[in-house]
Amino acid sequence: MSFLTDKPVVVTGCAGFLGTAVVGILQSHSCRKIVVSRKADYNLVDMQDVKRLYKDAQPDVVIHLAASVGGIGANLHHPGKFFYDNIMMGIQMMEVGRHSGLEKFVAVGTVCSYPKFAPIPFHVDDFWGGYPEETNAPYGLAKKMLAVQSQAYRIQYGFNSIFLLQLNLYGPGDNSDEQSSHVIPAFIHKSVQAQRRGLERITFWGTGSATREFLYVTDAAKAIVLASEKYNDSTPLNIGTGQEIRINDVWEIIQREVGYRGKVQWNHEMPDGQPRRCLDVQSMKERLEFFPEMTLEEGLKNTIHWYESECLDTPVSGNSQHEKPVVRHTIS
């Protein structure tokens, strides 16, 4: 951590799911000058607020995590907002950073930027091989432009910017709002609530046959901090586990851990999203000397325990009727 220890580091999106974990990892490594950027203080879609952030913080390093993001439903309902917010935040943060003499800009992108039918596992050589999956293309393309900007700025200005491609995150603290959550928190929320209410059947979107690769949030945060320390290349870097699993198989693990005995009905009229997702992570292993530690099974247990402990008044037990509203986590 010698590179980051004594430098002012700005973390955008610090109040979000991933941002909280990244700040925690920085603190655990004795990074003493962490400046957190919250939406309530700086609206990064507004150029004047971006300039004010840089003036106030005087950072040497920026880790840009802030995003407008959600699951398939949220992407379908807010494609314009997700495109505009994400592209404006990223482009402006990098541009003002260049003018401010920033030493390093860490842009965190998304697996949604890959082509819909990229060969498995996704390799950066195939990054420009086609259009992203339609339901989340506006979000994915907005983030993808940060890779273009990063490479262009390195060529013309010698600006040290890196672009990391992360995939589906999960873990304690995730957004469990039914209107905007991703697949794992949605599964946990619905199955726990169904168990408590004695429901015999629950419904999920799609067919359950699509595949995903999931990364525990703490492992993702460790990889981002390591890349901030070690990686200095304009080539996008995949961050993940390289392990692919069907959505239906994830559901079966969660169902078993929760103890829900009802049936699931897959709504085939609703989209699956991208058919398959799995990253080639060989470069991550070599360049960062890192591989994720948390297994999916153990990570799901931790996430379920957190949900039962923090989002409900008592852990699930039989047909307990004691319940309080689910905590809503805002994206910042």
Backbone phi and psi for residue 205, each to the nearest 5 degrees, phi listed first: -70, 150
**Helix, strand and coil in the chain, % to nearest 5:** 45, 15, 40
Task: Give yes or no for a contact between 115 and 131, defined as CB atoms under 8 angstroms apart.
Answer: yes
Mean pLDDT over each residue of the chain, to the nearest integer: 91
Query: What confidence score (pLDDT) does residue 236 get?
Result: 98
pLDDT tops 90 at residue 329: no
Q: Average pLDDT of 276-281?
A: 97
Query: What confidence score (pLDDT) does residue 39 get?
Result: 87
Query: What confidence score (pLDDT) does residue 147 get?
Result: 97
pLDDT in tens, 139-165: 999 999 999 999 999 999 999 999 999
Spell out the domains of the chain, with CATH numbers in brackets.
2-169+213-239 (3.40.50.720)
Q: Average pLDDT of 218-241?
A: 97
> What distances in angstroms separate CA 198 from CA 190, 192, 267, one per listed residue?
12, 10, 21
The rounded distance, in Å, linking the Cα atoms of 105 and 221 is 16
Backbone phi and psi for residue 163, each to the nearest 5 degrees, phi listed first: -130, 120
Using pLDDT thresholds of 50, 70 and 90, give the confidence band for residue 124. Answer: very high
Query: What confidence score (pLDDT) does residue 320 get?
Result: 32
The catalytic site residues sit at: 139
Query: What confidence score (pLDDT) does residue 325 get?
Result: 27
Query: What confidence score (pLDDT) does residue 29 get?
Result: 83
The rounded distance, in Å, linking the Cα atoms of 288 and 257 is 33
Q: Peptide bond preceding 119: is omega within 30 degrees of 0, i.e. cis?
A: no
The rounded distance, in Å, linking the Cα atoms of 229 and 4 is 7
Which residues does 171 contact at the CB level (< 8 Å), separation at least 6? 17, 21, 216, 217, 218, 299, 302, 303, 306
Closest CA to 87 of 152, 137, 20, 151: 137
The model carries a pTM of: 0.91
Using pLDDT thresholds of 50, 70 and 90, give the confidence band for residue 313. Answer: low
